């Protein structure tokens, strides 16, 4: 029997927000501000989603340039489309709607 991913409890948690972005295939631009005043990094949240919640999140590192001209590495996280499709067949839309509603109510 396959290991079915779990969803983070608490629709306003940072783990729920990150997973909602990955499931929605939304752009993470502007989302990083959530981490501005928290001790957890995006990498820490991704690690929890992989280890604790069993999500098959993929990571791709690529070289980029910084504003001051130095070279650096950037990382993009994503879920394979097959896993997104499987999640929606198992009811991800209801969970995602709850996260979005909680986020909207919080604003």
Q: What fold does the segment set 14-102 form as a domain?
A: Arc Repressor Mutant, subunit A (1.10.10)
Query: How much is the mean pLDDT over the chain?
Result: 84
pLDDT tens digits for range 73-88: 888 889 999 999 999 9
pLDDT of residue 53: 94
- Asked if pLDDT for residue 2 goes beyond 60, the answer is no
Query: DSSP state, 69?
Result: S
Domain definitions of the chain by residue range? 14-102
Q: Mention every residue, 6+ apart, whose C-beta is less than 8 A from residue 77.
A: 22, 42, 46, 57, 58, 59, 60
- Asked if pLDDT for residue 90 goes beyond 70, the answer is yes
Tokens coding 56? 């098959």
Tokens coding 90? 């198992």
């Amino acid at each position: 029997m396959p290991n079915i991913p779990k969803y983070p409890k608490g629709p306003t948690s940072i783990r729920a927000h990150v997973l909602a972005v990955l499931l929605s295939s939304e752009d993470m631009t502007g989302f990083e501000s959530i981490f501005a005043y928290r001790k957890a990094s995006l990498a820490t949240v991704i690690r929890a989603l992989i280890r604790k919640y069993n999500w098959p999140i993929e990571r791709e590192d690529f070289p980029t340039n910084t504003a001051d001209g130095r070279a650096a590495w950037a990382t993009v996280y994503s879920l394979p489309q097959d896993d997104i499709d499987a999640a929606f067949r198992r009811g991800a839309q209801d969970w995602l709607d709850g996260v979005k509603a909680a986020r909207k109510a919080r604003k």
